[in-house]
Structure 1
Amino acid sequence: MTVSALTRPGERDRPIVKFSEIDWAFCLFLCLIAGIGAMMMYSAAPQSWLPWAAPHLIRFGVFFVIMIVLAMVDLRVWFSVAYIVYGVALVLLVGVEAFGYVAKGAQRWLDIGPIRIQPSEIMKIGVVLALARFYHGLSGDHARFSWWLLVPAAMIGAPALLVAVQPDLGTAILIVATGVAMMVLAGLSLRLIVAGIVALMVAAPLAFEFLLHDYQRNRVFTFLHPEKDPSGEGYHILQSKIALGSGGLLGKGFGLGSQSQLNFLPEKHTDFMFATLAEEFGFVGCFSVLFLYGAIIFMALRIASTSHSHFGRLGASGVTATFALYVLINGAMVMGLAPVVGVPMPLLSYGGTVMLTVMIGFGLVQSVRVHRYSEVTAGRGALL
């Protein structure tokens, strides 16, 4: 039996009991992936802690502490702030459209005093929290098929549209995919799921022709035929495939990857970090890292299944879905199985904003574990 099962309800709120309820095996797997990422950044520098490896480890250490602190936050507090987080993120996304900072041809950032933030990352957490709270108070029949489903559809569609016009198609896809996954987990009717798939198949050609920017359409063409422009649009995918293939079974060895060391591989420390890993440690190294990712996803879903509240189950599942989609999209992109959309491999790739989003999400997952016996009450009495 767990510590929580052996203590009286009042004792479960003691900090020492909460701390003991954290899933430390889960934390260890997160540390392993972040450590492997730092090791690969050190290799790609080459053999230098700067400019990537040291900041990566420092950020992870700070964000790890934030995750532990958030794990101590009562699940009912997460419930109470769910709509607030979503609302603030939505306002910030609108602010990006009006006052956003432009870099690399995209308007995705917002300067607030000395701080530059990317509201789309906040929205990833906001959508999960808001949908989990909405479905917590919705009956099973209404979650399966009813006019009430227009509400979560709007909650997903509004931020996805704002993000897509920045333009940031990768993040927009993540928001939509996470939201749809949560709707399915909440009990969405199979008829609606099938109808949605059919509608998507019909709408995809129209969206490709009339909604995508020219550079986004070029990415699709490049994905299908990268060899037609090997030194231009197809360069990223072709160099990534060369790195993957040259690694073989065991790889060339630490610090010996020619594609990354000689700077043939673009974005070797961010979007294509997985290709850097493949070249130096081969199939065995890639499989080991994917095993770690799979273990994290499995443990997070197991934590979700133990929660006594519908909010906790959906919240943890939504965070896990976002994390899994990061891994799936980046892996497919690096292998040439999907267009390049600028989605990093979480914790393995360099980048503070995505890491912060992931660790805050896992703070919610750990909070679900620590407070799995808490009963979350919908309405004003959520904290009572």
Structure 2
Amino acid sequence: MTVSALTRPGERDRLIVKIGQFDWTFGLVLALIAGAGALMMFSIAGSSWEPWAAKHLIRFGLCFLLMVGLAMVDLQVWSVLAYPIYGFGLLLLVAVEVIGDTRMGAQRWLDLGVISFQPSEVMKIGIVLALARFYHGLSAQSAKMSWWLLVPAAMIGVPVLLVAKQPDLGTAMLIALTGGTIMVLAGLSWRIIGAGVVAAVLAVPALITFGMHDYQRKRILTFLNPESDPSGSGYHILQSKIALGSGGLLGKGYGLGSQSQLNFLPEKHTDFIFATLAEEFGFVGCISVLLLYAAVIYMALRTAYIAHSHFGRLSAAGVTATFAFYVLINGAMVMGLAPVVGVPMPLLSYGGTVMLTVMIGFGLVQSVRVHRYTEVTSGKGSLL
């Protein structure tokens, strides 16, 4: 008996229609970004597929298939799973505090023997789903200004504090920025937004003085004056700036970047791969890749715009916001416009965990596109 004989014709037809609704142009642009990353990894490894380029492409291929599979999942299923995924993410973050694996002075990982992963990555998806589910059942007036706003504020604040304590300032920033963006898109009052911005600015000195580890404070000071310690804490930023500047308009040529090829540039395949790209392909190469990122963000936001359900709109917009903040923070970090916080350039940088999180998020975005006419039901602003 064949597989097709076990599937009812109606189900096969629906699956074919869903696959046809998938945005394959979107998938192609993601593949181009991942391909550019593999191209750079091949170069900085001395024209070798090992140890990064081959694994990067294999991971992307598997994650791409996962994205397509998740796009077939009905939006109602995502809605039902929203709070459980968020709750599971919180439990994992608490588990990190108790039994987490410490590496390079940070307790961020859970080691299960077979695999080791960062639970904070689960929360990047969990916070988007949970807030989208919450606001889907909330009236416009309550979303604008009411005591209900304490609930999403707590939903964002708890994981941010747990992740910041690990410490992982970059991921904590991503979760906070994504959560705040969803609250704004859901209709938060501009008076509250303005008050929040003022409060955040006033809290910065206290946060730097009392809420950061010594090495984090040093990163802030280094960002302000990297030349004060050129061979120590300022080394990353200075080498990145040298790579960016030496690339010029068209770059030094593929495989000819001195900063990356001679190992002056640290983390050249992960956090600072964009500087590697700039050195070898110059301003033109950087703009080309940034245009690909802009295309991804545009297509994902367009998906959010055409969704009929509030849950779908906020889910797609939340995932897109996370992706955009990845690009903005890493780009600013590489150019010396922001402190080094360990945020990679999505899909371009080497790293399986971040790639998996990004592609799961885009699976959700494509699910919103495929099921854009689906009406999602949920309780009235309830966590139950």
Q: Same fold (TM over 0.5)?
A: yes
Q: Name the residue aligned to 2:324.
A: 324
> CA offsets per residue over residues 99-147 of structure 1, 9 Å max, x none?
0001111000112242212100000000000000000000000000000
Does residue 350 (structure 1) correspond to residue 350 (structure 2)? The answer is yes
Does the CA-based 8 Å contact 1:12-1:18 persist in structure 2? no
Q: Name the residue aligned to 1:6.
A: none
* 1:85 maps to amino acid: I
Q: Provide structure 2 residue ranges, at least 5 long, that are not aligned to the other structure.
A: 1-9
* 1:327 maps to amino acid: V
Does the CA-based 8 Å contact 1:11-1:17 persist in structure 2? no
Q: Provide structure 1 residue ranges, at least 5 long, that are not aligned to the other structure.
A: 1-9
> CA offsets per residue over residues 289-324 of structure 1, 9 Å max, x none?
000000100000000011110000000000000000
- For 2:328 and 2:17, the matched residues in 1 are separated by 36
Q: Name the residue aligned to 2:5.
A: none
> CA offsets per residue over residues 137-173 of structure 1, 9 Å max, x none?
0000000000000000000000000000000000000
- For 1:355 and 1:154, the matched residues in 2 are separated by 28
- For 2:64 and 2:272, the matched residues in 1 are separated by 24
Q: Name the residue aligned to 2:205.
A: 205
Does residue 183 (structure 1) correspond to residue 183 (structure 2)? The answer is yes
Q: Name the residue aligned to 2:68.
A: 68
- For 1:219 and 1:84, the matched residues in 2 are separated by 36
Does residue 155 (structure 1) correspond to residue 152 (structure 2)? The answer is no
* 2:98 maps to amino acid: A
* 1:48 maps to amino acid: S
- For 2:167 and 2:206, the matched residues in 1 are separated by 18
Using the aligned pairs only, state the percent identity. Answer: 74
- For 1:246 and 1:325, the matched residues in 2 are separated by 26
Q: Name the residue aligned to 1:111.
A: 111
* 2:284 maps to amino acid: V
Compute the displacement of 1:46 (Å).
1.5
224-233 vs 109-118, which deviates more? 109-118
SS at match of 1:267: coil
Does the CA-based 8 Å contact 1:127-1:179 persist in structure 2? yes
SS at match of 1:253: coil
> CA offsets per residue over residues 314-350 of structure 1, 9 Å max, x none?
0000000000000000000000000000000000000
* 1:319 maps to amino acid: V
SS at match of 1:14: helix
* 2:159 maps to amino acid: P
Matches within 5 A, 1:193-232: 193-232=193-232
- For 1:369 and 1:183, the matched residues in 2 are separated by 22
SS at match of 1:107: strand
Compute the displacement of 1:13 (Å).
7.5
SS at match of 1:110: strand
Q: Name the residue aligned to 2:301.
A: 301
Does the CA-based 8 Å contact 1:326-1:346 persist in structure 2? yes
Compute the displacement of 1:11 (Å).
8.3
- For 1:177 and 1:83, the matched residues in 2 are separated by 20
* 1:352 maps to amino acid: G
Q: Name the residue aligned to 1:77.
A: 77
SS at match of 1:34: helix
CA RMSD of superposed structures (Å): 1.2
TM-score (norm 2): 0.95
Q: Name the residue aligned to 1:247.
A: 247
Compute the displacement of 1:379 (Å).
3.6
Q: Name the residue aligned to 2:6.
A: none
- For 1:78 and 1:270, the matched residues in 2 are separated by 31
Does residue 365 (structure 1) correspond to residue 369 (structure 2)? The answer is no
Compute the displacement of 1:201 (Å).
1.0
* 1:220 maps to amino acid: I
Give the aligned length. 371
- For 1:115 and 1:291, the matched residues in 2 are separated by 35
Q: Name the residue aligned to 1:259.
A: 259
* 2:50 maps to amino acid: L
- For 2:54 and 2:258, the matched residues in 1 are separated by 23
- For 1:59 and 1:331, the matched residues in 2 are separated by 23
> CA offsets per residue over residues 199-238 of structure 1, 9 Å max, x none?
0111111111111111000000000100111100000000
- For 1:337 and 1:46, the matched residues in 2 are separated by 30
TM-score (norm 1): 0.95
- For 1:148 and 1:46, the matched residues in 2 are separated by 56
Q: Hey, which bits of structure 1, 4+ residues long, moved more than 2 A?
A: 10-13
Q: Name the residue aligned to 2:4.
A: none
- For 2:357 and 2:239, the matched residues in 1 are separated by 29
Q: Name the residue aligned to 2:123.
A: 123
Q: Name the residue aligned to 1:25.
A: 25
Change (3 A) 1:308 1:138: same
Q: Name the residue aligned to 2:335.
A: 335
Q: Name the residue aligned to 1:7.
A: none
Does residue 276 (structure 1) correspond to residue 276 (structure 2)? The answer is yes
* 2:371 maps to amino acid: H
Does the CA-based 8 Å contact 1:316-1:368 persist in structure 2? yes
- For 2:111 and 2:233, the matched residues in 1 are separated by 31
